[in-house]
Structure 1
């Protein structure tokens, strides 16, 4: 069995072949010409192949040396290119997050600039396009923010996102203060009800808590994403029943109001999912800590939202 290849000898050969000179190779490698000659001789003796013709003070590749040099020089060029690229990218980590579209659109995206300002060495890739929960093992996703509490992967770990979501009727101020003002639950009978079909609290559930109120819940526009239901309410299409967490931006800017107050059913909507094996990666731990701090701040902000 032959001994292992000396990378020092291969490096000396590559430089000498590329520069056609032991002296120039020695200068590039910061060694003496005799050191270069010695390393190449070791390589020749190890494999029993002459790599250079020594002609007076010049060196010329043999046929075997030329073939070997083509492969070695190409490999060194690839290493050099890869190293240059490393220098361009090593300063940042890419954190890949998959989120439900509504959480991404309504809550996360408006806050990502703050995270990027705090953590400039972490670049966020946010994806909300998968029709089903992401496979953390095969799809290159670091974190998945999922709606619902079902654990889908044995290798994964799930953390509940707090605070709990508060679900209340929401509408545009023009609608709430228009021809048929909304002041008490019974006033909703004059308005179209917007349905969020994937929400945990439906208008039927809301009516069970307000037994004296009779609403026609068979009618009204229906959406399979909360962000679309919220947008429809902003546009005056009707009254939606949705999350204060997701509608916080619209409530702060006055595009939506909660005409019946900020108290309503509380649900555990979102979970933070990742692989157990990656839970302590710095980029994941940093984002997780930031996310929970932001959620706590959102909870405090919800308590001061204007009712009308």
Structure 2
């Protein structure tokens, strides 16, 4: 069978990141802060289970099933938040998100527990291994900022919910853009209706950011939102000077092709121009691990 496209390995990605001359913009999804061994934030499945439990305890299962029948939504997570919004408004969503985030606080220190994946990611930047200018994330927690703070690295944190331009900090500090909001600053975006709102100013700013930096997409599921709309648009500019690395967690090419088929169709102009490369088997929970430490552990 002829390969449709080539998927590179993590060694190629490490070389690319270290040799990159442009400043790097990481686009990160929820997997980077996913709960592991009790540390971190609930993933999509655990969050969905929590909301179902809330619905059940409120005796609203019938209404939720009725909602599903009336609305042909194919994503459980977004459907659940949409339903919560319909019966409780945004405050109901905010209460769920607050519980999810505050459950990660260590009561002995009153600080958030930082997952190893985030600690290793921020360490690689703090140590100068990669020249990162921006982090664009759909995450509503601030674990990345808090991890940098532990390393005495200052950052500019922006919570983007209303449609507005990205406002880079007036300094040389790393910018972190939460394009679905920050739980402690304002409302956050989770429902089908929220994520499908077109935010022209934000999407225009992301477009400029992608032209000025080398973009690395990691731990990201490819939901329809402002980021993916920007990505879909930029590839249709034939003379645009952009550079994108999209990293997939699966090692199986067949799994990637089946799961992201619609995205490869959208990205075909970028693929044809050589403006985007794909990487497989990129596990954000181990990718940024200190290689010197790994060698020491192997010898033990």
TM-score category by the smaller chain?
under 0.3
More strand by share: 1
Larger RCO, structure (CA 8 Å, separation 6 or more): 2
TM-score when scaled to structure 1?
0.24
Q: Max radius of gyration: which structure?
A: 1
TM-score when scaled to structure 2?
0.24
